[in-house]
Chain A
Amino acid sequence: MRDEGELIRAAVEGDLGAFDELVLRKRERVIRIAFQVTGDLEEAKDVAQAVFLRLWRVLRRFDPGRRFDTWLYRMTVNLAIDQLRTHGPKGIFEPLPSDPALPAPSARFGPEQSLDLAALQRAFLRLAARLAPKQRAAFVLREIDGLETAEVARILGVRESTVRNHLHQARRILRAGLERDYPALTALFGDRGTGGGAA
């Protein structure tokens, strides 16, 4: 199995199989980020396609001394924010649709509890519509995707202190929204979450 650097070099040389493999490895994360920023799966797919097509055109300009993911996610976030600014927040009540053939996604909380991820997604999409695009992108990259603050700063093209400020504001707005609009959600998984509650 070829490593990422080999795939990039081969794709630059015109190896379509290598480029397909790159898309295969990166597509889920790119779609997830685009979805959480735009709030709409169709728009997320459009963003992902645009990102990979742009990647194909500009891959030869990639500096191997830099992190590929940072470069890719920067394109993703920029296009997703453009989409968000053009069309406004979408999918306010629509979670990431699950595949009908698969069981509804959930996170197991011990043997008796589970978190309905669709309900959590609905809450996020509704509350995140109140965030500014860069606040939302910072929250998605740091808190959902788990990237480090320094990398989020590089992706967004801002200072780390700016990212921390975006995150602070985003958490404050989301926390207030959760407590006001979704008290059952936080109570269920927080205060009484000792393994004995029901989902």
Chain B
Amino acid sequence: MTNCPPRGLLDGFEESRGPERAAVLEHVLGCGSCRAAWLAADPSRLFAFLALQPVPPHALESVSAEVSSAVRETIPKNGWAGARVFRPLAWAAAVLVAVLLGSLLFRPASGPPPSDLVRNVRHRTAFPAAGVELLSSPGAARVVDLTVGETQVVMIFDERIGL
């Protein structure tokens, strides 16, 4: 063959890149003398020709069909557009429900306000050593006065508040 590639290109086949490599393969397919030299250097180069073997069309079609079907099963019935609209709406609804539940759970119990409860206190138990007074109001509320020095802390426990 007159247009044989340089010997260096055949010898350096393993390091050749895409188009260069394809050109060598194409050439040695048709040129017996180059092929002999090329394979003599390394007979395992013969396996490079496996790239010419086509994949059976039925395998290609089968993979496409299976993938296409499986992918479509992952999509919501309304499609992605529906899902994109639905997602923010779902979040908004969840926030609304949380706010409503919160207002129901944390609303003040009916009955007299805490200041009235304090006025109903009948007994006071003092802990002078700690500067703590335990106040009680049977049937109404329990009040614990934790005032120490100038810091006043009063805790009111009223089961009717329902916290």
Report A's interface with B, CB cutoff 8 A. 13-14, 16, 19-20, 23-24, 27-28, 31-32, 35-36, 41, 44-45, 48-49, 52-53, 56-57, 96-99, 102, 105, 107-110, 113, 115, 117, 120-121, 124, 139, 142-146, 148-149, 167, 170-171, 174-175, 178-179, 185-186, 189-196
Contact = CB atoms under 8 A, between A and B. Distances in A.
5 contacts: A115-B49, A117-B50, A124-B50, A143-B44, A190-B40
B129 interface: no
A194 B33 contact: yes
B130 interface: no
A196 B32 CA distance: 8
Nearest to B34: A193
A143 B53 contact: no
Contacts of B66: 45, 49
Contacts, number: 152
B71 to A, nearest CB: 5
A146 B79 contact: no
B88 to A, nearest CB: 16
B70 interface: yes
A28 to B, nearest CB: 5
B50 A49 contact: no
Interface residues of B, number: 48
Contacts of A148: 17-18
Contacts of A16: 68, 71-72, 75
Given A20-B64, A190-B39, 13 more contacts: A16-B72, A23-B68, A27-B64, A57-B74, A99-B56, A107-B52, A110-B31, A121-B50, A139-B47, A171-B42, A186-B39, A190-B40, A193-B36
B137 to A, nearest CB: 62
A20 B67 CA distance: 8
B151 interface: no
B42 A175 contact: yes
B33 to A, nearest CB: 6
A49 B55 contact: no
A49 B49 contact: no
